[in-house]
A and B are shown apart, each in its own frame.
Chain A
Amino acid sequence: MKTFFLIASLALGQGLDPASFSLFKLPPAVWPTYNGDYSGRRFSDLEQINQSNVGLLKIEWMYRIQGVGPQRGVGNPTIKSTPLLANGILYFTIPDHVFAIDAHTGDRLWQYDSEDHGGHLVGQRGVGMYGNWLYFMSPDGWFISLDAKDGKERWKKKIADEKLQYFTTIAPMVVKNHILIGVGGDAMDVRGYLESRDPETGELQWRWWSTPEKIGDQAADTWPNKSAMDHGGGMTWLPGTYDPELNLLYWGTGNANPVFAGQSRKGANLWTASIVALNPDTGKLVWWFQASPHDTHDWDNVETPVLFDAVIAGQPRKLLAQGARCGWFFVLDRTNGKNLVSAPFSGTGNWAKGVDQKGQPIPDPAKEPKENGSMIDMPAMGATNWPPPSYDPQTELFYLNGTEGYGIAYLYDTSDNPEGYGGGGGGNFDTKSALFAIDIHTGSVKWKHEHSGSAGVSGGILTTAGKLLFTGDSGNLVAFDPSSGKILWHQRLTSSVSNGPSTWTLDGRQYIIVGAGDTLYAFTLAGKNQ
């Protein structure tokens, strides 16, 4: 802790004051981590832009990525990162590239480029910041520290082996003097882990594995043998959340491997497809909740575990909620993981036979992938995904962009020792995408905005004290009334919203920042020029 405060005071000149990291409060002129504050609520206290004046929103500037060209296997650059804001400068990323932009003007200050040497370029969620230092992951497993002033590389450390099909897209998360980084990769049956590294040296502080190490260890009885655990998956590819008072880190873990073929890994397969609570100083597991036990549908459970406080049945509670890719909404007591709500939001949850004593869905073996196909009443590839959800304490509603419909999953590799995916999911029968507003007390859907026609990608969600909800819809950035779902304002963009919108105040003006394809947009109120 001593070193931590020393660095903090040194960093105050130009860097990011670590005091701006907190559970629920954000200083107005900063967006210091991927989710803004530590809670993952993506709710802002700012209200200069509000229901009475949202019609005056205008584009203040645009920054379009140029000179990068199509990226290997994924096409044109797409901004999935949430830009950090510190000292009037925005830092955002796409795979292999970091950009520093003047937040007042959209002028580029510097750009850092990493050469493509493998890994998946499926996304890049952004940088982490500590004092004057930025932290970035290249897709091929390099953990890179940059000087925020000029983008010069300080050092880099190899933290994952892309030849084994690990890849790295995460925005590093800063908690005290720990830089937390997770990994992706489910093509070759590797084992998931989360690392904590030193902000100054990049050296490993601890590594938590998502599956048990050996027979006899905690939860090893949820696997048939050591080989299954060694190849069991459970990736950690999205930033988690943190409660400083409880000193608990909350992280979602990915699906088990082999992905669709579960016959060689009978059992619940802990701690894949789970929410885990870890001690950030030691990496020790404190509690867990498994959203998709023995997952056989590629249902990564990495969706943000959102932290909030609310009064439940007359009692003030410290809570955690997640809208999970498996189509269920969960509310837990974040002090101990005890379940309060488990309810499907997409379909009837017919892949499960109900919930167990912990509130975890009980997978129905009849609904696992089959050679002839097995149909479920939600999209086979999941009901939601990584785009950030939001919790608004003013409405006590949890918002997510999700899909409904029917899907079918097939088992291809019927051998005793399947490897890789071993099957596949698809179908997309009668698929509809929608913005869901879910009641945290009951898990019921209070309102839902179904997109007309085929709307497609709609990005993440931001709610504000101005009684506004920002998200993408039909190629537009849209402001909804968070209590009713009514559309209040929209602006057509050159591509669909592709990241989570964010907001902050600079020189007295509130900005809304959103990425759409290769372009970052900044919005302000007309007539608010200083």
Chain B
Amino acid sequence: MTDSIKLTTVTASIATESITVTNAAGASVTLAIRDISALTNIISAESCPLLTPRPAQFVTGLTITRDTFGADAAYKTVKYMLNYLFFFCPLGQGATLYEKFDDMVTAAAVILNYFGTHTNLSGATDILPGVVEDFEPVINADGALYHGCGIPFAVTQFMET
């Protein structure tokens, strides 16, 4: 039994998911999901809708617990949060500041529903969306505001798996 923390496997799994959402132009598109190896400081209107790892505090609350006797050889469980940002469209897109707000909420709900019903991702024993604290706005590296929200994922992994 070799233990491992498959954090990068989980992020790769998330990045390969295919989720169809309606973008700010009203078109049905596949949500772009970035892996941690594809992070850039460029997020533009053309990138959206986009789900990307939040560079600051990407992994939070990581704990490792020993579940059985056996010291180093014991069954252990690792739990952590992965924090993503959902960029839907620039805040000013649309005739009014909040014209696209409802579209963002609709798309975010689609994403949350998807991950609420796809909890068997490679690298995780269990994964579920966590507590969404902030619906709007999200900020790119240039300081531009976007309709969007933070989407955390609560990951549980048996370390021997």
Does A pair with B? no
**Which residue numbers of B lie inside 8 Å of A, CB to CB?**
none
**Which residue numbers of A lie inside 8 Å of B, CB to CB?**
none
